[in-house]
Structure 1
Amino acid sequence: MRTKFKYFSIGILLSASLFAKAQEPTKNLDFFLNQAKISSPVLKDLENQRKSAGIDSLIVRATGKPQVTGTSSGLYAPIIHGFGYDEVITNGQSLDALLNVNYDLLNKKRINNQLESVKLQSDSIRYASQVSTFDLNRSIADQYILAFASQEQVGFNIEVVTLLKKEEALLKTLTRSNIYKQSEYLTFLVTLQQQELSLKQAALQYKNDLATLNYLSGIADTTSIRLEEPKLKSDKLSVEISFFKRKFELDSLKNENQKRSIILNYQPKLGLYANGGYSSSLVLEPYKNFGASMGFTFSVPIYDGHQKKMQFNKLDLASETISNYRTFFVRQQTQQLNLIRQQIEQTNSLFGKINDQIRFSKGLIDVDSKLMHTGDLRVADFVIAINNYMSAQNLLRQTTISRLKLINQYNYWNR
């Protein structure tokens, strides 16, 4: 009667545990990825930088328009007892209040080049934002995989403890009937207690891994949840891996933009100016000294010690450096992707053998359980069967997690 009550109690506890798990809210990988993007200060910073670059573009356009300034100056140079500044130079006193207008006639190409520079800056910021997003996704996915693995470990440990408790109740009855020795029962009880401890450790590990996942995602939440299985698939190897090459393309375009800027700096400059207002020495009929003037300025570089050639030489060296880095990166990236893909294929080939081992181990447990019920099996043999089953399940989980991490890494670089 007592044994039946224990079976009934175990069934109630297991049902309650499964019901509690079913009531927990579930979250998938996309939820944490979206939360991480929303919370990331780096992505917000880069977005503000991109908006700032848009303002820079407006500023550059504004510099191409006529520039209007107002100026005013006054001067009084007294002569005391014949001592003072020469009045021929200073006029003794003066007063100016002018409105000036300046316009550069040959600035269109310079403005366009500056706008191109701002656009390249904006493209670089956008590229950095995409890279930051990819990095964030990879780190969140890796942590999600770890947390999911911890969750599965808890579930498996519950399964093992439930099985052992069920057998422990029967074994205690058989021991009291002298079918098994007390030492064998104690051996089995030690195994059960070890698994109960392992269950507590697994639950603590899952709690820590989930807390780390929430921390990385910017989520301030400590409620218990269920994680859905991450659905990651490895994309086919891109024939032309383009995204990460974009960085070198942008660097090359910036280099060309700097060359055009140097060329434009050595072209002639022609500007017009005009002013109007009041300018007087206050000596003769100062009320008539209202007027206006206009003119032009022209300059052309003639000789500066071959600085232009030197700047071009520096940019040529920078271009060569960019090319070297690009060649090295593409070669390394292709090798890395091929290696990861090979590791994924090798990992996939293990699942068939592991699943066979799990099936055989589970079948052995079922057979041993029946034999133990009749007292025809040593407890040590049943414990060995349990350990073999646990080892096979752990190997399956480790292989699955390894595969998911490889796929996550592969998808990161295969862009």
Structure 2
Amino acid sequence: MTTKISPQIQPLLRFCEVCFALLIITLGQVLAQRDLGSYISHAQQNSPLINDNNNLAEANLAEVDRLKAFYTKPQIAVTATYLFAPVISTNEGTTRFEPNSNGAANYIGYDLGASNGGQYIAQLSLTQPLFNKSRARIAGEQFQVNAQINRNLAAISGHDIEKLITDQFILCQQDLQQIRYVDQMGQLLLRQKAIVAKLVEPGIYKRSDLSLLNIEYTSTQSLLATYRASYRRDLMDLNILSGINDTTLIDLVPADLQLNAAPAHSLFLAKYDLDSASLASSQTVFELKYKPQLNLFASAGLNAIYAPTIPQRLGASAGLSLVYPLFDGHQKVFTRKKTQILLGSVSFNRQNFINQNSVRKAKFLSELASYNERENLASEQLAEYNTLLNTYKKEILTGQLSIVIYLTTLKNMATAQRDLALLTAQKQVLINAYNYWNW
């Protein structure tokens, strides 16, 4: 059984179908686009170098906890020893086997003064370092600095990736812009071909004029195919750099980079600060061995050398041990001198980076000022070409314009469009470079 649709409802249904189709197309376009931020995010998440440095930072923090336990927590151990040293006694002219001698005078076997005739030890021992909290803190600071160095290296790696991905993204944008320009030129040629084809029959234009348009249109389509191939290649490279497993040809959300404000503290300079802190903490840790070390030790259990007396040899002991180095050939003085030399090298490199980076950023800003001026001139020139082509449209309709002149103007406009696309891309690359160093 089929249901008949009222004629009044049919237009409404067709309207709904069109709206639904447009919605599907729009959603497909949105889903098939990616912006610069998503590429950078994927690349940083998939970076082995960032992952390694983050893991090393966590490992260094775990080492801080281990050192705290090593310097401040008691160490408890079980010690067990069984030494079997039998002798053959020859006292009083008799020979007998004694597995645990009680003081034979004449015998064959290990010297009882060295072996005690045997040994039976089963003890629980405890060693507790005393007054070691500052030692644990100093030893842990070195690994905390190492963790900060790894975090900083991860941040710098992420920043390097951001610049690399952005440069590749700009290259893809340049390809897309050139595709749009060439495609617009092809559409314009198609329209002019249709007009000239109608004007050939009444003799206003010659067939050779139409052939010129056909040749130019074919050339435009060839150029369009070249730019599309370049875009596909550059887009696949972008996916490779970002670690995205996708070969779909998609559109990109345009990115318009702007100059970033100067940061309160440069993370590039943080590298030198952390290097200095690492050298200082290494020196402090080295000098820990010159501090006195006091330990409490205790043990309880069995310690016997004669098996029959084992039940009477259960006991306990406790004591203190002190280690205080007095002289080692002035090693502390030499290591301090070495550390000061290395700190001077880090300070020199830091200042050298500041000087170079200041000049580098000034150079980028100067080049950007030149690009802004050239970009404005190119945009004005392109606007004039558009105005001229609109005028030419009217003259073509009346047969007053040479097709050769029209094609020459169109080619010059295409060159201007290409130059503008290159200028825009190069300007974005310069902004990206400035933002990279202004960090």
Both proteins in one fold, TM over 0.5: yes
Give the partner amino acid of 2:316. Answer: A
Partners of 2:111 and 2:222 in 1: how far apart? Answer: 102
Distance, in Å, in 2 between the alignment partners of 1:20 and 1:364 is 36
Asked if 1:61 corresponds to 2:68, the answer is: yes
How far is the alpha carbon of 1:23 from its aligned partner?
Answer: 4.9
Cα separation, 2, equivalents of 1:119 and 1:362: 63
Structure 1's 95 and 404: CA in aligned 2 closer, same or farther, altered over 3 A? same
**Corresponding residue number in structure 2 for 1:310:** 334
Cα distance change, pair 109–98 in 1 and its aligned pair in 2 (3 A): same
The match for 1:167 among 164, 183, 192 is 192
Does residue 46 of structure 2 align to residue 39 of structure 1? yes
1:84-130 CA distance string (max 9 Å, x none): 21112211111111111112224222201112112111111111111
Amino acid at match of 2:74: P
The answer to whether the 8 A contact 1:109-1:264 is kept is no
Structure 2 CA distance for aligned equivalents of residues 128 and 173 of structure 1: 68
The equivalent residue for 1:221 is 246
CA offsets per residue over residues 15-66 of structure 1, 9 Å max, x none?
Answer: xxxx979952332212222222333333333332222223212211211211
Tell me how large the CA RMSD over aligned residues is: 2.0
Residue number in structure 1 paired with 2:128: 103
Contact 1:154 / 1:199 at 8 angstroms: preserved in 2? yes
Match of 2:3 in 1: none
| Structure 2 partner of 1:243 | 267
Matches within 5 A, 1:234-273: 234-237=259-262, 241-273=265-297
Residue number in structure 1 paired with 2:147 = 122
Deviation at 1:200, TM superposition (A): 1.0
Query: In the superposition, relative to structure 1, how do residues 146 and 99 fare at CA in structure 2: closer, same or farther (>3 Å)?
Result: same
Rounded to whole Å, the distance in 2 between the matches of 1:396 and 1:105 is 74
Which residue identity lines up with residue 392 of structure 1 in the other structure?
A
Q: Which runs of 5+ in 2 are unaligned?
A: 1-23, 90-106
Q: Secondary structure at the match of 1:349?
A: helix
Q: Alignment partner of 2:87: what SS?
A: coil
2:16 counterpart residue number:
none
> By how many angstroms is 1:184 displaced?
3.5
- Give the match for residue 93 of structure 2: none
The equivalences for 1:8-407 within 5 A come to 23-25=28-30, 26-63=33-70, 64-80=72-88, 82-237=107-262, 241-283=265-307, 285-407=309-431
Which runs of 4 or more aligned residues in structure 1 lie more than 4 Å from their structure 2 counterparts after TM superposition?
Answer: 19-23
Matched residues, number = 396
Distance 1:192 1:20 in 2: 29
For 2:309, the aligned partner's letter is E
The offset of 1:349, in angstroms, is 1.6
Separation of aligned partners in 1, 2:307 and 2:82: 14
Q: Which runs of 5+ in 1 are unaligned?
A: 1-18
Which whole-Å CA distance do the structure 2 matches of 1:277 and 1:159 have between them?
95
Q: Structure 1: how far apart are the matches of 2:265 and 2:363?
A: 16
Deviations 1:280-321 (A, max 9, x none): 112552211111111121122122222222211211111111
Contact 2:142 2:285 in 1 (8 A): no
TM-score for the superposition, normalised by structure 1: 0.90
The 8 Å contact of residues 28 and 229 in structure 1, kept in 2 or not, is answered as: yes
Q: Determine the C-alpha separation between the residues in 1 that align with 2:28 and 2:324.
A: 80
Identity %: 27
Task: Give the 3-state SS of the residue equivalent to 1:58 in structure 2.
Answer: helix
Q: How much does 1:74 deviate?
A: 1.4
SS of the equivalent of 1:278 reads strand
The alignment partner of 2:317 has SS state of strand
Per mean C-alpha deviation after superposition, the further-off stretch among 165-174 and 380-389 is 165-174
> 1:361-399: CA deviations, max 9, x gaps?
112222223223322222211111001111111111111
Are the equivalent residues in 1 in contact too, given 2:294–2:320 (CA < 8 A)?
Answer: yes
Give the 3-state SS of the residue equivalent to 2:384 in structure 1: helix
Residue of structure 2 equivalent to 1:13: none
Match of 1:7 in 2: none
After TM superposition, the score normalised by the length of structure 2 is 0.85
* Contact 1:100–1:275 (CA under 8 A) maintained in structure 2: yes
Q: Which amino acid aligns with 2:29?
A: E
Cα distance in 2 for partners of 1:260, 1:192 equals 76
Q: Deviations over 1:222-244 (max 9, x none)?
A: 33432121032102345x65221
Q: Is residue 127–residue 298 contact of structure 2 (8 Å, CA) maintained in 1? A: yes
Aligned partners of 2:412 and 2:272: how far apart in 1? Answer: 53
